[in-house]
Amino acid sequence: MHFNKDSLYANPLGEIAAFKFDESVVNVFPDMIRRSVPGYGAIISAIGMLAGRFSRADSLCYDLGCSLGAATLAMRERIAAENCSIVAVDSSESMITRFKRNLDSGGAGAEVRVVCADIREIAIERASVVVLNFTLQFIPLEDRASLLAKIYQGMLPGGVLILSEKLRFDDPRQQALQVDMHQQFKKMQGYSDLEISQKRTALEDVLLPESFTVHQKRLLEAGFASAEIWFQYFNFASMIALK
């Protein structure tokens, strides 16, 4: 994997284009996500642990919005069930091309199928584990309920959905505090005020965070028996929904 340092927003940009998962982001992605999402590494390893526990024989594990496959690779290491493979899906061709190239260089464990597609358009079937690791936040608000309902319907009884998201808070003081602490986290990771503010502009209208209450309500409406937060670090959280 390439570990180029993310300096995409380091210089003043005249016009700030909407954030896209293109070639320039792919080149710096592992560094960008690790320095932008507090707790990212902990979440990736827990996804591996959960896949080890919930994966079933003759089932599929889905990594939806897989990017360069960090969650897929963590799951692949831990899946011991017979005839259980991983379907990794992303709509960014640049991400998928790079992920396939990295995957070709080897590694043991569950079989992995890498697919370039829109997750709103693929079939979900025989799923024991489904991962949406910081992906749902990029799906238009009006499409989120139907996507979650499709996932629920494609899951086997006893299956798990791991949903990680940037959260927003209804209380204005909480919202201001948590956003501010996240910015402080980014500064401690070496991002400048300019980088932080230009990235914030690029993500506006692209990354749409919702509150935990909204996520939980929608998961229950999709059919899940329960949905709880298992990890939170400021305004970034990961939820477990059980079928």
Ligand X SMILES: C[S@@+](CC[C@H](N)C(=O)[O-])C[C@H]1O[C@@H](n2cnc3c(N)ncnc32)[C@H](O)[C@@H]1O
- Select the residue interacting with ligand PRE from 166, 215, 218, 243 (CB under 6 A): 166
Residue 63 annotated as lining a ligand binding site: no
Q: What residue 66 binds from ligand X, ligand PRE, none (CB within 5 to 8 A, per partner kind)? A: ligand X
Of 33 and 61, which CB lies nearer to ligand X in the complex structure? 33
Alpha carbons 205 and 70: distance in angstroms, whole number = 26
Asked if residue 134 binds ligand PRE (CB under 6 A), the reply is: yes
Selected range binding ligand X among 67-75, 97-105, 174-182, 215-223, rule: CB under 6 A:
67-75
- Residues 94-123: x/- map of binding to ligand X (CB under 6 A)? -x----------------------xxx---
Is there a contact between 243 and 56 (Cβ–Cβ < 8 Å)?
no
92 binds ligand X (CB under 6 A): yes
Dump the DSSP string for 150-211: HHHHTEEEEEEEEEEEEB--SSHHHHHHHHHHHHHHHHHTT--HHHHHHHHHHHTTTS--B-
Do the annotations mark residue 41 as ligand-binding?
no
Window 129 to 188, contacts with ligand X (CB under 6 A): 133-135, 138-139
Contacting residues for 16 by C-beta, under 8 A, at least 6 apart: 198, 201, 202
216: nearest Cα among 186, 198, 237, 188: 237
Q: Which of 153, 189 has the CB closer to ligand PRE?
A: 189
Q: Give the CA angle between residues 166, 235, 31 to the nearest 5°.
A: 65
Helix axes 212-222, 144-153, angle to 10 degrees: 50
Angle formed by the axes of helices 70-78 and 40-54, nearest 10°: 40
Annotated ligand binding at 94? The verdict is no
Q: Using CB under 6 A, which of 9, 26, 30, 36 touches ligand PRE?
A: 36
Distance between CA atoms of 13 and 11, rounded to whole angstroms?
A: 6
71 forms part of the interface with ligand X (CB under 6 A): yes
Residue 16's alpha-carbon distances to 198, 216, 223, 226, in angstroms, are 7, 33, 40, 40
Task: State the nearest-atom distance from the C-beta of 116 to ligand PRE, in Å.
Answer: 18
Q: Is residue 233 classed as helix, strand or coil in its secondary structure?
A: strand
- From candidates 70, 129, 167, 240, binder to ligand X by CB under 6 A: 70
Name which of residues 201 to 230 contact ligand PRE (CB under 6 A).
203, 207
Binding site for ligand X (CB under 6 A): 21, 33, 65-67, 70-71, 89-92, 95, 118-120, 133-135, 138-139
Binding site for ligand PRE (CB under 6 A): 32-33, 36-37, 134, 166, 199, 203, 207
